[in-house]
Structure 1
């Protein structure tokens, strides 16, 4: 075979091999498909991760639900639910708190295991929540408290009817455009106050003062524990109230003291002290005078507060007394029987300030945390919270219009609230130090007086709450201010042991 034939044979063989490879090419495809199981394995991983994520989310939801479990607090309900879970009602040495925690743990485990709470727990919880919608948490009171509330309700409704009728007649007879001018005319009377005299009233600072219902006398409560009665005309000592062991924080006259109330009645004057006692005093000015002490009065003691007492107020009916103190409670007392009718909790800090609505229906209390509350004395319920002061509420007073209340505090602000709107209507940066006392003008409330530790006494227009007049006594920390009904005499007290009479 020559070379040409050999070369032709080699080419033919190569073409034959290529042809065989091309015919076997489809058999390669199954070999390429051997990699597909790897892709399927990756998909299974994704599904498993997704299921794991869903399971985690489910557990998180169950844990959130477990944290919100409303476990009962009554011992009988706790034991009943433990019994229904097939658990021992109690273990040896187990306290009520531990038993309740054990029930919570068992319910949580049941929820995590089965994804739901026991059927009996759902039914009881829904039943209890339905009851709570219309349930009040009330203190059990004595029978005298019910009678007192009925009397207060009758008096307040009568007073409210008179007040509303007076306001209606005023709207019919007085042009609204002239009201501003009336306020300005009234405030002209306070433009020319000047110090007439001053007097040392106590061996320590004077805490509070108040003017008697007949407008002739001033009563002061002192840091020494001694309270005194002074003649406003000449600042002379008329009588002393000796009995408290330490600082007196408040003093109040009975609404009919020195008028129709007998001088021998123990309800003429009430005082409150840091010795945890309230004293009710006679006010007989015809007794034999004791040298340097005036005439001493007799007293009876009311006890119940567990910490110092900051404030006492006579109710308008003259039969009840209200006190409030550092034990975070205010209390209602029956003067005639010297009985504690009720103890009201609700504040988280010491109650320092309080004032009564002019109708006698509502009581405002303010605490050292800056929280205030209006209480309805006819039903014993807190009806309106006052939130706004950033420090303690130290002073408060209701306007005679029945819907404005002014509060002052350790934040140096005066806030004026409208209880109809249930909100503050004016924020006044009144002083550069704490506001110690507030008083609306008696009878008409056409202006507001504020006293402060900055030494200033300020008068505010009750129409627009603008500043009208300022009176200053330097280096004096004023503790109280009061003014007579005829607006001719103003009296201030301070920590410098003196009271000052302004005319």
Structure 2
């Protein structure tokens, strides 16, 4: 029967299966038969259109016509296919050549643009260096100094090559220092009763890992970051001082350089970021201390308080006065608003001063000497009130705890000593590895943790003086270390040119 495909050699165009007989039919023909008879043509059993089952088959491949089966026809088909393939290959080669030419032209333009940018950058740098000398002489002041009417007078950085004359500490200055100390002491007693909210825990510190490393802040030809400080108002901002004679202000959140401060004639060994204003202080063995406006990247004040290299600086809690020390055995107290030296005192029989740090209250401060002595001074009386012997080698760093009771000191003897300022004695000595070099000490703002930088970077828990974490990520000596807000991160600088951030 024509309906039954099994009898025919042809494959139906739309095959269906009858569930009654299991035979395959052409849908068009079986539907016509069902409408006329209502039964399966093979078994004569009742069958409806809805009962039919569609079959899924591959598309019908029709054979070549007889005219295409001859040898000449096959050769022509192969020739046509070869011609199409060659034409496609030729088109692709043309497109590739065009793309190569466009890329070569773009790379040439990029290289030319880079050369122009490098030349312009060099010219801008030279212009800024010239302006750093010329603008302050015209009395241009950095933003943040404007509220002070005396600022900017005598602001020329080259106005005095010799040390300045002492202006004297007036009763007004002394009263200002006393009022600030009274206020800070009262605030500290309140804070001392509670742990700051959000302070990093001991477990947090132990889980700190390197999160970022920046090596492009200072020159690669004269490598080494010698000093670093963070802004207490915004701890994402960091200032570094380098062997390349520059200070650099960097934002860790945006990973952008905010300012490059050029003007020192020798390496920058100490830097401080003002806690409330857009100002930076830097000191150098070129005998000078410079005050910089960050927004203008210009030197606004030059303080020449010493005849020898400046070895350390510390900002008073008022933000208006700067303590400095020098290898000329003198320490000086200067007004950063006017650039004037208010008082200068010689250490007398002591050796060269290597570092200096204000007590949190601001009425006393400590200095370290080359002959291994730590000296505590009364600022108002300008007198040496206590001495802490015990180290061997020049003192490298001193740091007061926020609570005002503890003083941490280090020297070239691979130990860190903790001193009780109430009892004036050494109550704890942290012995480090043999030949360990300590270059920087820093308590966090709560006085809970102490960090040590040198051969590596270490964090200790205060009171228990337990070592919590050691960071060995630097490839050279770590020269400076600081804590972020609530010890949320640790930042360190090194002679390997890198500025590294450690956190969770």
Aligned counterpart in structure 1 of residue 248 of structure 2, from 228, 249, 255? 228
CA distance in structure 2 between the aligned counterparts of 1:165 and 1:439, rounded to whole angstroms = 22
Alignment partner, residue 440 of structure 2: 437
1:41-440 to structure 2, matched below 5 A, reads 142-167=167-192, 169-170=193-194, 186-200=201-215, 201-203=217-219, 204-213=223-232, 214-258=234-278, 268-284=279-295, 296-346=297-347, 348-431=350-433, 432-440=435-443
Q: Distance in 1 between matches of 2:305 and 2:359?
A: 25
What residue is the counterpart of 1:479 in the other structure?
479
Q: Please give the alpha-carbon distance, in whole angstroms, between the structure 2 residues aligned to 1:233 and 1:418.
A: 38
Unaligned runs of at least 5 residues, structure 2: 1-164
Q: By how many angstroms is 1:482 displaced?
A: 1.1
Q: Deviations over 1:284-343 (max 9, x none)?
A: 1xx6xxxxxxxx334321113111112221111111111111111110001222111111
- 8 Å contact 2:285–2:308 — kept in the other structure? yes
Report the CA distance shift for 1:276/1:359 in structure 2 as closer, same or farther (over 3 A): same
| TM-score, L = length of structure 2 | 0.62
Give how far 1:428 is off.
1.2
CA deviation string 1:80-139 (max 9, x = no partner): xxxxxxxxxxxxxxxxxxxxxxxxxxxxxxxxxxxxxxxxxxxxxxxxxxxxxxxxxxxx
Q: How far apart, CA to CA, are the structure 1 residues paired with 2:414 and 2:292?
A: 35
Supply the distance in 1 between the matched residues of 2:394 and 2:309 (Cα, whole angstroms).
17
Contact 2:227 2:241 in 1 (8 A): yes
Cα drift, residue 489 of structure 1? 2.2
Does 1:501 pair with 2:496?
no
Q: Distance in 2 between matches of 1:145 and 1:207?
A: 35
Deviation of the 1:198 alpha carbon: 1.5
Q: Deviations over 1:407-437 (max 9, x none)?
A: 0111111000001111000111124322100
Question: Using the alignment, how far apart are the partners of 2:198 and 2:378 within structure 1?
Answer: 31
CA 336–185 in structure 1, closer or farther in 2 if over 3 Å, else same: closer
5 Å-filtered alignment, 1:9-20, equals none
CA deviation string 1:203-250 (max 9, x = no partner) = 221001111131121100011111101111243212110101111110
Q: Deviations over 1:4-63 (max 9, x none)?
A: xxxxxxxxxxxxxxxxxxxxxxxxxxxxxxxxxxxxxxxxxxxxxxxxxxxxxxxxxxxx
CA contact (8 A) 1:253 1:314 kept: no
> Residues of 1 paired with 2:309 and 2:283: CA distance?
8
CA 1:298–1:422 in 2, change beyond 3 Å: closer, same or farther? closer
Task: Report 1 or 2 for greater relative contact order, CA contacts < 8 Å, sequence distance ≥ 6.
Answer: 2
The residue that corresponds to 2:457 in the other structure is: 457
Higher helix share goes to which structure? 1
2:363–2:378 contact (8 Å) kept in structure 1: yes
| Structure 1, unpaired ranges of 5+ | 1-139, 259-267, 288-295
CA contact (8 A) 1:149 1:379 kept: no
User: Matched residues in 2 for 1:481 and 1:497: separation?
Assistant: 14
Query: Residues of 1 paired with 2:224 and 2:351: CA distance?
Result: 25
Shift of 1:371: 0.5
Contact map agreement 1:207 1:494 (CA 8 A) in 2: yes
Q: Return the offset for 1:142.
A: 4.7
Secondary structure at 2:334 match in 1: strand
Residue 360 of structure 1: how far off its partner (Å):
1.4
1:156 is paired with a residue whose SS is helix
Contact 1:279 1:302 in 2 (8 A): yes
What TM-score, normalized by structure 1, do the two folds share? 0.63
Alpha-carbon offset, residue 491 of structure 1: 1.3
SS, match of residue 248 in structure 1: coil
